[in-house]
Amino acid sequence: MRRPPRDTEDSARRINRRALFMGGCMAATMAVLAGRMRYLGIDQSDAFSLLAEQNRVNIQLLPPARGLILDRNGKLIAGNEQTYRVVITREGAGDVDLVLNRLSHLIPLTQEDLTRVLKDMAKNPAFVPIPVADRLSWEEFSSISLNAPALPGVTPDVGLSRLYPRDTDFAHVVGYVGPVSEKDLEGIENPDPLLHIPKFQIGKIGVEKWTEDVLRGSAGNRKIEVNHVGRIMRELERAEGQSGADLTLTLDADLQNFLQVRLGDQSAACVVMDVQNGDIMGAVSAPSFNPNLFVRGISNADYRALMDNDHRPLANKVAQGAYPPGSTFKIVTALAALADGQIDTDTTVSCPGYLDFGGRKFHCWKSGGHGKVDLARALAESCDVFFYDVAQKVGIEKISEMGKTMGLGQRHDLPMSAITEGILPTKEWKQARFNQDWRIGDTINASIGQGYVLASPLQLAVMTARVATGRLVVPRLVKAVDGVEVAIAEALPLGMETSHLQTVRAGMDQVVNGQHGTSYAARIDNAAMLMAGKSGTSQVRNISAAERETGVVDNVDRPWKERDHALFVAYAPADAPRYAVAVVVEHGGGGSLAAAPIARDALLRVMTGALPDPMDYPESQRARIDAMLKDLRLRRPDGSQPPEIKA
């Protein structure tokens, strides 16, 4: 049936309206799209180009070379060695477990290694290289390179790792480095981005830790092109970082090696100082340990062996050890009494072998007594009763004040770990510490370096240097930074009467060079290098009255841990002091027998710059000394050949 013309016309009009509407909508849409495209393509082109570039280019940190640590003569103490290692990226590996399994057939990987790698991967972005193993042999490195097609995401790499070429000699002073831990990051408000690099090494103890900011340097960077999933395509640009500064220490590597060998397997410490500028020439704690073990990741067995050793090889006895100074403290008591006007060079005290105070006997080391003694003889023969008597007149406050003037009871500012402050007790100190009143008996004990008094070998060396010079000598360990000399602190006068110091020095001279001195057997038989010193023996247990009646058991007959500590301090040459030394031998017995010979050897070594000459010893000792020196040339505590001990 034919439609009427009118209906056809209406239908055509409706179609035209719809077409116009649809066309208008399409035109509007096209206009909006064109405007948007113009906005994105022209107006915002710079911003989107930058975003595209950032997605295409990544910037990675490049760890700097750690600064070297050298001895005073430029000999290497801590350096960096090139090592072969292997890293893996999670993005590139795909099936990480499969790749690690294949890798374990080429190099030894423990379950602990695998767990650590997976843990590091979980903490870092997929494209960050995670160290799997380092210190690979060339054969292992080559094997990984040859099998690269079967090890996606695995990259053999060359890096730097810390090396201590003199192993045990500087372990306690220089310390060691190790990977950054969560504990290291605690308390750091804005940590250096370098610290987030897996297995990045930082100082853990000693000079390595306390000069970390100087040694670390600053990071470099490299720009790398990556694909849409983060895989590295090529390196676009590289800017090397700034290496850490080199540190020159005041220590002498040859002297340090000599002291380490001389102390041997004893539990002991020795400090040698230049009294003219405070330079620490030698600082050895024995027994020692190999810091390279910690850099490489010490095994549980090795660490347990160090921890279980009753001679405490991990402890830095030089600065951390706090010991009753024994009779070496009589130097402080004598100076306090002289300064307070309680005694002079002519003052005498009668010593019957004990002091009776309040019904309690305070014994002298010489049971029969010394008779009538003046200050010089009291120091030379170490009469306890003389110092018991004068200490009561002076009082503990002035004795402690003098001790502080002499460098005790304070933490010296050096880049070493766990430096002890020691203890110089006072009435207020005891009340605060024990809630007890101070007693005269406490002063009597303190006068001879017993009771509450504690000092480190470092502090005793400073005390000796100040006695020798009459000046406030300040210890120094860092000599230069990147070749620029560190300023030497001005040693101000002690503010004491010269006659008082001369009196004490005369007594110290007689300790070693007087025939009745406690350390006469340890003298130097060379007029140009005579030493002056003071011995000390500090008890580690109480001697009962019953034991005194039946006879005190000799040190050699007691268990090692019940034996007295042996101490000795000295300076030389006696008439023109240049070096001071302090020695502590834990449970070594008498200071004159165990510690004084070590101090003598140390002073001869530093004064001559060579292995001591047997002719500088008393004639009766020369054959024995010659045999000892020959033995020192052949051994070290670890049994290896010592490269620095030469005739």
Per-residue pLDDT of 411-449, as tens digits, reads 999 999 999 999 999 999 999 999 999 999 999 999 999
AA identity, residue 130: I
Between residues 166 and 43, the one the model is more confident about: 166
Q: How confident is the model at residue 226 (pLDDT cuts 50, 70, 90)?
A: low
**Cis preceding linkage at 324, omega within 30:** no
- How many angstroms separate the CA atoms of 568 and 599, rounded? 7
AA identity, residue 41: G
- Beta strands 478-481 and 247-249 are antiparallel
Query: Is residue 327 flagged as an active site residue?
Result: yes
Per-residue pLDDT of 545-558, as tens digits, reads 555 555 556 666 67
Residue 10's φ and ψ, nearest 5 degrees, are: -65, -40
Fold of 59-249: Penicillin-binding protein 2a (Domain 2) (3.90.1310)
Three-class DSSP labels, 68-92: CEECCCCCEEEEEEEEEEEEECHHH
Q: What is the rounded average pLDDT for all residues in the chain?
A: 87
CATH class of 253-307+314-634: alpha beta
Buried b (16+ CB within 10 A) or exposed e, 420-459: bebbbbbbebbeeeeeeebeeebbbbbbbbbbbbbbbbbb
AA identity, residue 545: A
Per-residue pLDDT of 463-494, as tens digits, reads 999 999 999 999 999 999 999 999 998 899 99
Per-residue pLDDT of 349-380, as tens digits, reads 999 999 988 888 999 999 899 999 999 999 99
Give residue limits of the domains in the chain: 59-249, 253-307+314-634
Q: How confident is the model at residue 282 (pLDDT cuts 50, 70, 90)?
A: very high
- How many angstroms separate the CA atoms of 512 and 592, rounded? 9
AA identity, residue 239: A
Q: How confident is the model at residue 229 (pLDDT cuts 50, 70, 90)?
A: very low
Residue 55 has pLDDT above 70, yes or no: no
Per-residue pLDDT of 70-113, as tens digits, reads 999 999 999 998 888 888 888 778 888 898 888 988 998 888 88
Q: How confident is the model at residue 232 (pLDDT cuts 50, 70, 90)?
A: low
- How many angstroms separate the CA atoms of 90 and 104, rounded? 17
User: Strand, helix or coil at 375?
Assistant: helix
Alpha-carbon torsion (555, 560, 563, 566), positive or negative: positive
Nearest to 118 by CA among 105, 107, 127, 131: 131
- The predicted pLDDT at position 150 comes to 85
Strand order in the sheet with 220-226: 57-62, 220-226, 232-239
Give the mean pLDDT of 580-595. Answer: 94
- The first and second tokens of residue 490, run together, are 């001005």
Q: What DSSP character marks residue 342?
A: S
- The predicted pLDDT at position 471 comes to 97
- The predicted pLDDT at position 342 comes to 95
- The predicted pLDDT at position 12 comes to 57
Give the mean pLDDT of 323-337. Answer: 97
- The predicted pLDDT at position 329 comes to 98
Report the percentage of the chain scoring pLDDT > 70.
Answer: 84
State the catalytic residue, choosing from 161, 327, 447, 538.
327
Give the mean pLDDT of 270-292. Answer: 97
Give the mean pLDDT of 575-580. Answer: 97
Q: How confident is the model at residue 306 (pLDDT cuts 50, 70, 90)?
A: very high
